[in-house]
Amino acid sequence: MSNGSSSGTRTDFISVPVELASRSYVVEIGANLLDQTGSRLRQLGLEGRVALITDENVDRHYGPQVTTSLARAGYESSCYPIPAGEASKALATVEQVCDSMARDGFDRSAIVLALGGGVVGDLAGFVAGVYYRGLKLVQLPTTVMAQVDSAVGGKTAVNLPAGKNLVGVFHQPTFVLADTVTLQTLGRREWNEGFAEVIKYGVIRSPELLVKLAQDPLPDLAGVVRECVQIKAGIVAADEHETSGLRALLNFGHTLGHAIEAVAGYGSFFHGEAIALGMRAAAYLSQRHTGLSPEEVAQLDALLRRFSLPRTLASGFKPEALLRHAFADKKFVSGRIRFVLTPRFGEAFVSEQVTSNDLLDAVSYLQAT
């Protein structure tokens, strides 16, 4: 991490490197950075026409600002706004966007800019991964979720009717620019759900971050984003394609979280809300199996409350349905699941101690308290 200079027209920013040999890149984080999109692309030596992919909400807020910045730096650009929401993360949208780009004459020299939350980032990342067998990609994340998580690490995907994120490619961006001012226009629920992922980083790697998050109002938003990006960058650099198991730590709270999301029907819970419940269950199982202290369990509960995240699951949820989904996720090996536990905040690891009965108990815990 280094502090960017404030020379010339640049405002202060923080730069976090993601070390991936020839595919290394930096994530720049700070306030009012979007206006400098064009000039940063020039400084980085990126040449080509720009395909700006965004969603209709984000386009209204920030599309013109980015387009103007690109034009000032001499870039020709075309904007492709998709409807906001998870339903756009589909092969049909990939086809529409790629077809429009082809009609507009984009070839393999194009640069894709993804301006928006995780939906835009995943969709545009996938388009950049497959159009002409791969284009340069720049992520301009505008949600907490995207800035701390989805814009970094190179996972892209779209959904199938059969399930989420089933079609995708690894495609690392060339550059990520996270303007924290954009987070001010997020709805309250979108803001809060992003903090479920921030809490996740604290639980797996940084008890200090959890202490910072308890402060109200939150001090140093850019610093919080930086810490999450540093943690993710470190994990991704060590296990880019999720082969050693390290990257699986990022799934803390996600085994039951994903199951809850799917069983409730996508859209009922926001991703971060379902993850909040999954993290509470994972803390319960961490206490049982690895001795996570009751104080730490209470600390997690207090943070979920602070960000108005759900802590209990309605009794209507059938535990068996949740388990079936977790099984279908293929993380079970002979009755046991690869499940992220932590004996203390900051020391998470992938365990094979968790059984399906444990999961049933964890669901009862969410339904009883």
Among 35, 190, 239, 347, binds ligand NAD (CB under 6 A): 190
Q: State the amino acid at position 13 in one-letter form.
A: F
Q: How many degrees, rounded to 5, is the angle at CA 49 between CA 99 and CA 31?
A: 110
Among 146, 203, 233, 262, binds ligand NAD (CB under 6 A): 146
Binding mask of the shown chain, residues 260 to 299, with x at each position contacting ligand NAD by CB under 6 A: -----------x----------------------------
Among 63, 117, 129, 202, binds ligand NAD (CB under 6 A): 117
Whether 318 is catalytic is no
Residue 338: CB minimum distance to ligand NAD, A: 18
Residue at token pair 């692309």: 41
CA distances for 363 relative to 202, 221, 225, 325, angstroms: 23, 33, 31, 13
Tell me the residue ranges of DSSP E strands in the chain: 2-3, 14-18, 25-30, 50-55, 77-82, 111-116, 136-141, 155-160, 163-170, 175-179, 332-333, 336-341, 349-355
- Tokens at residue 192, please? 């809060």
In the complex with ligand NAD, which residue's Cβ is closer, 205 or 292?
Answer: 205
Contacts of 256 (CB under 8 A, 6+ apart): 277, 278, 281, 282, 322, 326, 359, 362, 363
Which one is catalytic: 133, 188, 295, 330? 133
Q: Please report whether residue 84 would count as binding ligand NAD according to CB under 6 A.
A: yes
Which one is catalytic: 10, 242, 306, 347? 242
Q: Please report whether residue 33 would count as binding ligand NAD according to CB under 6 A.
A: no
Q: Please report whether residue 57 would count as binding ligand NAD according to CB under 6 A.
A: yes
Which one is catalytic: 136, 205, 232, 280? 232
Among 35, 86, 242, 361, binds ligand NAD (CB under 6 A): 86
Among 32, 185, 290, 367, binds ligand NAD (CB under 6 A): 185
Q: What is the Cα–Cα distance from 70 to 40, expressed in whole angstroms?
A: 10
Q: Please report whether residue 155 would count as binding ligand NAD according to CB under 6 A.
A: yes
CA distances for 120 relative to 14, 108, 178, 192, 219, angstroms: 24, 20, 14, 19, 28
Q: What is the Cα–Cα distance from 73 to 47, expressed in whole angstroms?
A: 11
Contact 275, 203 (CB under 8 A): no
Among 182, 230, 251, 351, binds ligand NAD (CB under 6 A): 182
Whether 258 is catalytic is yes
* Part in contact with ligand NAD (CB under 6 A); list of ranges 10-18, 116-124, 281-289, 335-343: 116-124
Whether 155 is catalytic is yes
Whether 251 is catalytic is yes
In the complex with ligand NAD, which residue's Cβ is closer, 119 or 127?
Answer: 119
Whether 190 is catalytic is no
Which one is catalytic: 226, 271, 280, 325? 271
Q: Please report whether residue 58 would count as binding ligand NAD according to CB under 6 A.
A: yes
Q: Please report whether residue 363 would count as binding ligand NAD according to CB under 6 A.
A: no
Total of residues contacting ligand NAD (CB under 6 A): 28
Among 27, 38, 51, 89, binds ligand NAD (CB under 6 A): 89
Whether 325 is catalytic is no
3 state SS of 261:
helix
Tell me the residue ranges of DSSP E strands in 103-259: 111-116, 136-141, 155-160, 163-170, 175-179
- Tokens at residue 270, please? 């926001």
Contact 29, 14 (CB under 8 A): yes
Phi then psi dihedrals of residue 53, to 5 deg? -105, 130
Closest CA to 331 of 278, 290, 292, 265: 278
Which one is catalytic: 155, 205, 325, 331? 155
Whether 241 is catalytic is no
Q: Please report whether residue 177 would count as binding ligand NAD according to CB under 6 A.
A: no
Residue 350: exposed, middle, or buried by beta-carbon count in 10 A (0-12, 13-18, 19+)? middle
Catalytic residues: 133, 155, 197, 232, 242, 247, 251, 254, 258, 271
Residues in contact with ligand NAD by the rule CB under 6 A: 55, 57-58, 61, 84-86, 89, 116-120, 122, 142-143, 145-146, 149-150, 153, 155, 165, 182, 185-186, 190, 271
